[in-house]
Structure formats: structure tokens, C-alpha cells
Amino acid sequence: MAILNLLLIACAVFSVSGEPSCCPAGYVLGSSINQPNAQCWNKENVTDIVLRCRNTVKIVENKNLNFEVDEDGRLVLLLPNREVIYEDGDSFCQGVEAIVGKNGRASVQRVALICDEQPTRMVG
């Protein structure tokens, strides 16, 4: 627990805005409607991922989604095939609109989509 606290403090110290700029392993950086300041969310509390696409918004349920958080606090989605990202040939998902957690909705600032073992970095 002490190590976790040190990591959170270290992240906060190097943040320009006073908000944490990174999160420890297992957490994702995001803000919610009720708490606009960025905070670290435990990925175990995330229930759904909302992908932002050109023609639609696709909700991916957590139980069907394998995701991790990298060392910079970016959400990494491990998607089984391109059909999850592409609704059709023209509806490319540009990033993640939000993560939906047990405590409400949290917006995701940065995300890395990994599809067919070919990483594609996206900025939300």
C-alpha cells in the first residue's frame, strides 16, 4: 500500500495541472461527470467501454473485453478481431468516448487499441 501511495504522489508531483499524470498498474486515468478532475480508476470497477466511432457509438461490455493499463496510465484494449473496432468498412472508431464504472462514467483521455496483434496508438 505504501508503494501505491508513493506512485500516486510521484505522479501528482510531476503533473503541471495538479492532477495525476499517470497511474499505477491496474488503474486508468480519467475524469467523471461528478468529479471533473482526473483521477486513477481501478480497472476492476470498470463495467463497460464506450468506443467513439464515425457513425455510431459502440459499447463493449467488460465481460467480453480484455484490457490492461500501461505504465503511463493509458488504457490498452486487447480486441479479439477488427469487427469490434469496425462496425462496417467505413465506421472507424477513433478512440474511447468513456469508460463506464461502478461509480459512474469516466472519460478517457488517451487510449491504445491493440487489434490482431498490431498496436495502433490513438489520442482521444
For range 60-76, the mean pLDDT: 55
Cα angle: 77, vertex 25, 15; to 5 degrees: 100
Instruction: State how far the Cα of 53 lies from the Cα of 89, in Å rounded to an integer.
Output: 12
For 82, the grid coordinates are 477488427
Q: Which has the higher per-residue pLDDT, 59 or 23?
A: 23
What pLDDT shows up at residue 24? 72
* CB atoms inside a 10 Å sphere around CB 30: 25
Q: pLDDT, tens digit, for every residue of 25-43?
A: 777 666 555 555 666 767 6
CB of 45 closer than 8 Å to CB of 57: no
Instruction: State how far the Cα of 9 lies from the Cα of 47, in Å rounded to an integer.
Output: 27
* pTM of the predicted structure, to 2 decimals: 0.35
Beta bridge partners of 76: 68, 112
CB of 76 closer than 8 Å to CB of 110: no
pLDDT for 1 beyond 50? no
Alpha carbon of residue 105 to chain centroid: 12
